[in-house]
Chains A and B, each alone.
Chain A
Amino acid sequence: MNNFFDFGSYGDYVLSAYGLSAIGLIALVVLSWRAYRSAMSRARTRNLDIS
């Protein structure tokens, strides 16, 4: 397993590239969903038609 994550001694570079991509994309997804859910909740409170 350690051998796999070593990536031929380039593990630091490969894993940091994937890690950074994961952090950036997950942050984008979470922020977008939170804003969407918050807007849906506010619209429901105001009895707006969201169907």
Chain B
Amino acid sequence: MFGFANPERFWRLSAILMPWAWAAAGIALAVGLYLGLLSSPDDYQQGATVRIMYVHVPAMWMAMACYAFIAAASLVSLIWRHALADVAARCAAPIGAVFTALGLATGSIWGKPMWGTWWAWDARLTSVLVLLFLYLGYMGIWTAIEDRAKAARAAAILALLGAVNLPIIKFSVDWWNTLHQGSSVIRLDGPALHASFLYPLLTMGGAYGLLFLALLLTRMRTEILSQRIWADQRRRAANEELRAQPEGAPTNE
């Protein structure tokens, strides 16, 4: 499996995958928006606000899936010191942070007409807010620590510790009394949603997943390029330094 994670092989594979991922994400988003905004019916209790579900729920799915991805990549990085795992985790973090912020914001907008309040300090909302802070902390570590190896290690440890929050988010609605409704899609006894709501939701979920893939590939290629440019800069600077020394002068070596 790690053979495919070789940076050179990833570079060639991602060049082929990236345009397809962008095209598939664009098409899936267009279909999902059509189904969610135009085709799906109103809910008999929630009315048209149920349409907010098609942007809120996929954003939260991706927020959690992205953090799980970062935690898995961090584990690979800590155990096998795989350079591409660091790149993948680092590049996924801003995407996950945006999905989390959008999940919180759209949830708040949905909560106002349904619960009568923009925000409540209940278990689900608070644990998702903690997830956002974990993302910000993770990105902060990469920015604050100059030494790349130390930053990768510290960020990976934070990502693994923070992964404890994922089951708390998922099961918070079962463990505590919350304003938030219980699970209605990912349940042992199957989805509780009618097909007219479920299909648009799954389409938007797929579209967000494809968008995540397209963004991740693009950002990972950018990061790999930036590392190559940095290495080239250092090599050129070293060559300049060597050339600037008069012949026969002692070197540091």
Show the binding face of A for B, using Cβ within 8 Å: 7-8, 10-11, 13-14, 16-18, 20-21, 24-25, 27-29, 32-33, 35-36, 39-40, 42-43, 46, 48, 50
B113 contacts A13, CB within 8 Å? yes
A32 contacts B218, CB within 8 Å? yes
Expressed in whole angstroms, the Cα–Cα distance for A46 and B233 within the complex equals 9
A17 contacts B55, CB within 8 Å? yes
Expressed in whole angstroms, the Cα–Cα distance for A39 and B91 within the complex equals 15
In the bound complex, residues from chain A placing their C-beta under 8 Å from that of B222 are 32, 35-36, 39
Report if B134 contacts A (CB, 8 A). no
A24 contacts B101, CB within 8 Å? yes
Count contacts between A and B, CB distance < 8 Å: 87
Given contacts A21-B55, A48-B229, 7 further A-B contacts (CB under 8 A): A10-B49, A10-B113, A20-B102, A21-B106, A24-B98, A36-B221, A36-B225
In the bound complex, residues from chain A placing their C-beta under 8 Å from that of B234 are none
How many residues on chain B are close to A (CB under 8 Å)? 33
Expressed in whole angstroms, the Cα–Cα distance for A43 and B233 within the complex equals 11
In the bound complex, residues from chain B placing their C-beta under 8 Å from that of A40 are 225
Sample of 16 A–B contacts (CB below 8 Å): A7-B47, A10-B48, A11-B48, A13-B112, A18-B33, A18-B55, A21-B55, A24-B98, A24-B102, A24-B105, A32-B215, A32-B218, A36-B219, A39-B222, A42-B225, A48-B228
In the bound complex, residues from chain A placing their C-beta under 8 Å from that of B229 are 39, 42-43, 46, 48
